[in-house]
Amino acid sequence: MRKASKQIVILGSTGSIGRNTLDVVRSLGGNLKVLGLSARSNVEELAAQSLEFKPQVVALTDSRAAREFASRFPDLKVLSGEQSLVELASLPRADLVVVAVVGSAGILPSLAAIETGKDVALANKESLVAAGEIIVSAARSKGINLLPIDSEHSAIYQCLKGEKIEGVRRILLTASGGPLIDKEPGEIEATGIAEALRHPTWQMGKKVTIDSATLLNKGFEVIEAHWLFGLEPERIDVVVERNSIVHSLVEFVDGSMLALLSPPDMRLPIQFALTYPVRLRTKLESIDLTEIAGLRFEKPDFDKFPCLGLAYDVAKKGGTAPAVLSAADEVVVDAFLEGKISFGDIHRILREVVESHDIKPKGNLNEILKADRWARQKAKVIVDDIMKG
Ligand code: NDP
Ligand code: MG
């Protein structure tokens, strides 16, 4: 590591990635110092984390939760409101900001961290889907490290170390296939909430778990890889590998392939990003390759999972189209989890929103944020119409 102790800020510390990040911090002893933590409204979890990790600043975007928290921690600096994430991401003493909030709430804080010269460990894929060009070019011009936490992208990042992108023929993103891979189309259409949340290999927050069931998550990851690694979507393929042991592969122009294998545990890509460029020990067990029943790679079924094709479509359209898909998906996934729409409605609503959008081909940040607001509104109207029957 560059210094004895790296100072980190974790946005979304009460979530699945946030808690795993703190677990890594805990396991690394004094190598990392937590400077700031944030939640939306989970006061209890943030309180427990604050007692253990003693941050100097915390943020709760929900102002009522922030007031309650501040009354319990009168000596701690407590920020609130949407802008608080930007303030936390810009703390002058931070070396690295982990962006682990869900959805487009990650866009402005990621940019703020980059603009103020911090390395960024990015779990929040939605910010790259919506504003990938802006984020990646800001990171390049500031000369900071943009380190992906998403396991597939961490794998590709590691496979590409020391390689030139001109030497790459294509990227193969692996997918577990999600909980519905073996279902018939009619069964998928009628999937219930509990079933959609039952992911076979990963324990994650609800939104990304539903996105994994529709395979839209994998579609978002195609767009994420497109921006992170500078490869056209046509050269990013998806293959199903059900064990979640091969985390992705890179095929080079000479026909060689490199893959990254590890147990399916998010603490690995998180630790890689936190300690970069140093690799440190973990307590995770090695995989016994002889115990794996067989590594099999299958083609994803675009007919059964139309969200995957929709993501490729918006990736090719570019401009504000991916931001629209991502923002509409936040609304539609919430509506599904609240029992307002069926599982099958998800892809139909998303397609309708995307097709009625007037794409701005070179979306600047304002146009992207405007498209995001438009898409949310449009998706809500369609959800309301469905509920009215
Ligand atoms: P969770 O839902 O578990 O956690 C989200 C965190 O962000 C919580 O701390 C939550 O606070 C906070 N939060 C949610 N919405 C907002 C908002 N609008 N403004 C401010 N804070 C907010 O999500 P995950 O940890 O599963 O996922 C985080 C990101 O990482 C997502 O973009 C996801 O796609 C990506 N990712 C996740 C993986 C995983 O294994 N979980 C794997 C790869 C990528 P509160 O607790 O108060 O609600
Ligand atoms: Mg992933």
Q: What is the CATH number of the domain that holds 21?
A: 3.40.50.720
Instruction: Supply the pLDDT for residue 123.
Output: 98
- 9 C-alpha to center of ligand 1: Å? 15
Instruction: Supply the pLDDT for residue 4.
Output: 59
HEC profile of 264-312: CCCHHHHHHHHHCCCCCCCCCCCCCHHHCCCCCCECCCCCCCHHHHHHH
- What are 84's strand-pairing partners? none
* Residue numbers of the chain with a pLDDT score lower than 70: 1-4
143 and 201 in a common domain: no
Question: CATH code at 190?
Answer: 1.10.1740.10
- d(CA 57, CA 69) in angstroms, rounded, equals 12
Claim: this prediction has a pTM higher than 0.95? yes
66 domain-assigned: yes
- Residue ending a domain, among 113, 148, 183, is 148
- Residue ending a domain, among 148, 182, 207, is 148
Could you say which ligand is closest to the alpha carbon of residue 221? Answer: 2
**Among 226, 230, 223, 225, which Cα is nearest to 166's?**
230
205 and 316 in a common domain: yes
- 20 C-alpha to center of ligand 1: Å? 11
Q: What is the pLDDT of residues 307-326, one digit of tens each?
A: 999 999 999 999 999 999 99
Instruction: Supply the pLDDT for residue 3.
Output: 52
The residues, any chain, with a CB within 8 Å of residue 51's CB and separated by 6 or more, are none
Are the C-beta atoms of residues 382 and 345 closer than 8 Å to each other?
A: no
The residues, any chain, with a CB within 8 Å of residue 3's CB and separated by 6 or more, are 95
132 and 34 in a common domain: yes
141 and 166 in a common domain: no
Q: Token match 């427990």: residue? A: 48
107 and 10 in a common domain: yes
Structural domains counted in the chain: 2
86 and 165 in a common domain: no
Instruction: Supply the pLDDT for residue 37.
Output: 98
- d(CA 334, CA 346) in angstroms, rounded, equals 10
- d(CA 6, CA 145) in angstroms, rounded, equals 14
**Among 302, 150, 112, 328, which Cα is nearest to 229's?**
150
252 and 238 in a common domain: yes
Instruction: Supply the pLDDT for residue 1.
Output: 44
- 286 C-alpha to center of ligand 2: Å? 21
170 and 304 in a common domain: yes
198 and 114 in a common domain: no
* Residues within a 6 A CB radius of ligand 1: 12-18, 39-42, 61, 100-103, 105, 123-126, 150, 202, 204-205, 208, 266
384 domain-assigned: yes
26 domain-assigned: yes
Domain interval for residue 164: 154-264+295-388
Are the C-beta atoms of residues 272 and 279 closer than 8 Å to each other?
A: yes
